[in-house]
Amino acid sequence: MATAQTSTLPLDAESSAALADRGLEYALVDRDGDAFAPFLRSVARGFLGEEPTAEQIESSRDSLRGRRLTGVFDRRGVEPDAPVATVDSWVNELTVSPGRTVPIWSISAVTVAPTHRRRGIATALLTGELRTAAAAGYPLAGLTVTEATIYGRWGFSPAAWASNVTVDTRRARWTGPVAPGRLDFVSRESLPARMTAIHERLRVRRPGAVPGWEGRWRGIAGLTPEAPDAKKVRAVAYTDPGGVERGILVYTIAEREEFTAHELEVRALFADGDEALGALWRFALEHDLVGRVMAELQPAVPPVQWMVSDRRAVTATLTDHHWLRVLDVPGALASRAYAAPLDLVIGVGDPLGFADGAWRVRIDTSGQATVERADAEPDVRMPVGSLASLLLGGVRATELATAGLVEGEPHQLGAIDGAFAAEATPLLDIWY
Ligand SMILES: CC(C)(COP(=O)(O)OP(=O)(O)OC[C@H]1O[C@@H](n2cnc3c(N)ncnc32)[C@H](O)[C@@H]1OP(=O)(O)O)[C@@H](O)C(=O)NCCC(=O)NCCS
């Protein structure tokens, strides 16, 4: 059973010692105390943002409730109380199969001041997070990344992908289903509650998803002080013929010189069911004076391409999105449901030790897995990152094998493909 209260867990001794060797102090930051404002300023600087105002600091203090905030301090510096590195982590719930979730340790706000870069501070922070998460009983850690080059070295690897979609509305005549419900504009203030209600229903059905939080929804709705284009945010809700609200589209429109070719940018499109999905996409594509619709964090193969007359009006650029790190092999693998039986020994290479070793994976005919340490020669071998990428079924073992990221006989790899096939394609539809 993973510990639920993480903000008071002790700091990792190994990272404390490694940082102390460099004259740096590793410390927890109290969200309610004076240390929070400098912490937030360091995060904003790390992500190249503006200096937060007093209002933004209070709004973030509220939205980061329940977070474990850790800073690295150089007390010899001009601003000894401003952390030179930051990380924020919290307990999250990852959907692993439709209707099944597992607790994960989510990580965000990883920054190192440009004055202190490349001295191993990020390494101390990330390995410290992983050891703390593993000791607290979390089978997985997760994050979303600004660059794909950073986190592989600590065993993270993409497990859910997302597409950035652009639609040329002048080519994309609607041929999709006509939804029987109705659309209504709804107020920005009402959006956090509306998004929560719909997203909570959706995310438990979609492997790779995690819940949103009030601060995330307020940002999308343009209700936080720093939200870009806040006053331009508009939203429509789809209600089915039975009176149940099933979809929400939040968007802004950017004006372009050509008056009939403005750009509609989707900030959120959450649809509980195909009718709502069709209704909201149709609304966006048929919006007067709009020439282009752009939406990020859409499914890898976006359904909208099947709903328009010219499929090539829709371009989708696939990107890695949810990166996972396996900390406990039995806990991670046994959390999901599988598509076919399996019995083999997987050898996992993990330089940080958490997942290292040979593991017998048995999946019964009902799709349940039992996993234990094996004293046998592995049938299949892989680095720990590959195990994270395979976990939700978003990529096949045979595909990773072509890149040398899984090794095994073709029939063993094929057996993994059959067992790990996903009931729904993994997707994470928010940033965190
Ligand atoms: C990314 C960042 C946290 C790295 O911090 P750092 O303390 O300089 O990293 P470390 O000194 O621990 O370096 C660890 C390793 O990562 C490599 N590395 C660090 N940043 C990298 C980057 N952006 N791209 C590729 N490799 C990177 C280092 O070269 C080093 O490699 P090695 O292990 O082979 O020696 C820091 O550059 C930063 O704050 N960037 C801006 C904010 C950001 O992008 N955060 C990530 C959010 S997801």
Residue 430 has pLDDT above 80, yes or no: yes
Superfamily of domain 329-420: SCP2 sterol-binding domain (3.30.1050.10)
Q: How far is the CA of 150 from the centre of ligand 1 (A)?
A: 6
Residue 67, SS3 per DSSP:
coil
Instruction: Please list the alpha-helical segments (H only) found in 165-260.
Output: 191-203, 214-220
Residue 352, SS3 per DSSP:
coil
**Predicted confidence band at 5 (pLDDT cuts at 50, 70, 90)?**
confident
Q: What is the pLDDT of residue 344?
A: 97
Supply the CATH classification number for the domain 163-319: 3.40.630.30
Q: How far is the CA of 74 from the centre of ligand 1 (A)?
A: 18
What is the rounded average pLDDT of the residues 220-238? 93
**189: buried, middle or exposed (CB in 10 Å: 19+, 13-18, 0-12)?**
exposed
Q: How far is the CA of 118 from the centre of ligand 1 (A)?
A: 7
Enter the pTM of the model: 0.96
Supply the CATH classification number for the domain 13-138: 3.40.630.30
Atom of ligand 1 nearest to the CA of 143: 48
Q: How far is the CA of 264 from the centre of ligand 1 (A)?
A: 35
Q: Spell out the residues 6+ positions from residue 423 whose beta carbon is closer than 8 angstroms to its own.
A: 97, 98, 207, 337, 339, 393
Q: Find, among 11, 393, 321, 399, the residue nearest to 156 by Cα.
A: 321
Residue 277 has pLDDT above 90, yes or no: yes
**10: buried, middle or exposed (CB in 10 Å: 19+, 13-18, 0-12)?**
exposed
Q: What is the pLDDT of residues 126-159, one digit of tens each?
A: 999 999 999 999 999 999 999 999 999 999 999 9
Q: How far is the CA of 319 from the centre of ligand 1 (A)?
A: 20
Residue pair 225/62 in contact (Cβ under 8 Å)? The answer is: no
Q: How far is the CA of 398 from the centre of ligand 1 (A)?
A: 31
Averaged pLDDT score across all residues of the chain: 97
DSSP state of 80: T
Best mutation site among 150, 154, 323, 325 for ligand 1 pocket (most ligand atoms within 8 Å of CB): 150
Tell me whether domains 13-138 and 163-319 share a fold: yes
Q: How far is the CA of 24 from the centre of ligand 1 (A)?
A: 17
Q: Spell out the residues 6+ positions from residue 78 whose beta carbon is closer than 8 angstroms to its own.
A: none
CB-based pocket (< 6 A), ligand 1: 46-47, 110-112, 117-123, 145-147, 149-150, 153
Residue pair 299/162 in contact (Cβ under 8 Å)? The answer is: yes
Tell me the torsion sign for CA atoms 385, 386, 392, 394: positive
Residue 351 has pLDDT above 90, yes or no: yes
**Predicted confidence band at 1 (pLDDT cuts at 50, 70, 90)?**
confident
What is the rounded average pLDDT of the residues 340-361? 98
Q: What is the pLDDT of residue 227?
A: 85
What is the rounded average pLDDT of the residues 261-287? 97
Beta-bridge partners for 359: 346, 373
Tell me the torsion sign for CA atoms 69, 75, 81, 83: negative
Atom of ligand 1 nearest to the CA of 124: 12
Ligand 1 atom 16 nearest Cα = 150
Atom of ligand 1 nearest to the CA of 121: 7
Atom of ligand 1 nearest to the CA of 125: 12
Task: Measure Cα distances from 288 to 90, 264, 283, 284, 292 in Å.
Answer: 42, 10, 10, 9, 11
Q: What is the pLDDT of residues 80-132, one digit of tens each?
A: 999 999 999 999 999 999 999 999 999 999 999 999 999 999 999 999 999 99
Q: How far is the CA of 251 from the centre of ligand 1 (A)?
A: 33
**Predicted confidence band at 257 (pLDDT cuts at 50, 70, 90)?**
confident
Residue 228 has pLDDT above 90, yes or no: no
Q: How far is the CA of 75 from the centre of ligand 1 (A)?
A: 22
Ligand 1 atom 22 nearest Cα = 150
Best mutation site among 19, 72, 89, 117 for ligand 1 pocket (most ligand atoms within 8 Å of CB): 117
Ligand 1 atom 20 nearest Cα = 150
Query: Per-domain residue ranges for the chain?
Result: 13-138, 163-319, 329-420
Beta strands in 187-332 (DSSP E): 234-239, 245-254, 262-271, 290-298, 314-326
Q: How far is the CA of 125 from the centre of ligand 1 (A)?
A: 11
CA 207/CA 71 separation, integer angstroms: 32
Ligand 1 atom 27 nearest Cα = 150
Q: What is the pLDDT of residue 259?
A: 81
- What H or E segment, with its residue span, contains residue 164? strand 157-168
Q: What is the pLDDT of residues 11-60, one digit of tens each?
A: 999 999 999 999 999 999 999 999 999 999 999 999 999 999 999 999 99
Atom of ligand 1 nearest to the CA of 112: 39
Q: What is the pLDDT of residue 111?
A: 98
**39: buried, middle or exposed (CB in 10 Å: 19+, 13-18, 0-12)?**
buried
| Residue 393 phi, psi dihedral angles, 5° rounding | 80, 20
Hey, what long-range contacts does 254-262 have (CB within 8 A, 24 or more apart)?
256/291, 258/291, 259/289, 260/289, 260/291, 261/170, 261/289, 261/290, 261/291, 261/292, 262/289, 262/290, 262/291
Ligand 1 atom 40 nearest Cα = 111
Q: Spell out the residues 6+ positions from residue 252 whose beta carbon is closer than 8 angstroms to its own.
A: 229, 232, 233, 234, 264, 265, 267
Q: Which two tokens stand for residue 376?
A: 């046998």
- Biggest alpha carbon–alpha carbon distance for the chain: 69
Q: Which two tokens stand for residue 86?
A: 């930051």
**Predicted confidence band at 358 (pLDDT cuts at 50, 70, 90)?**
very high
User: Higher confidence at residue 259 or residue 361?
Assistant: 361
Q: What is the residue-wise DSSP string for 1-31?
A: ---S--TTSPPPHHHHHHHHHTT-EEEEE-T
Q: How far is the CA of 383 from the centre of ligand 1 (A)?
A: 21
Ligand 1 atom 5 nearest Cα = 122
Q: What is the pLDDT of residue 381?
A: 98
Percentage of residues of the chain with pLDDT beyond 90: 95
Residue 334 has pLDDT above 90, yes or no: yes
**Predicted confidence band at 258 (pLDDT cuts at 50, 70, 90)?**
confident
Atom of ligand 1 nearest to the CA of 111: 39
Q: What is the pLDDT of residues 400-418, one digit of tens each?
A: 999 999 999 999 999 999 9
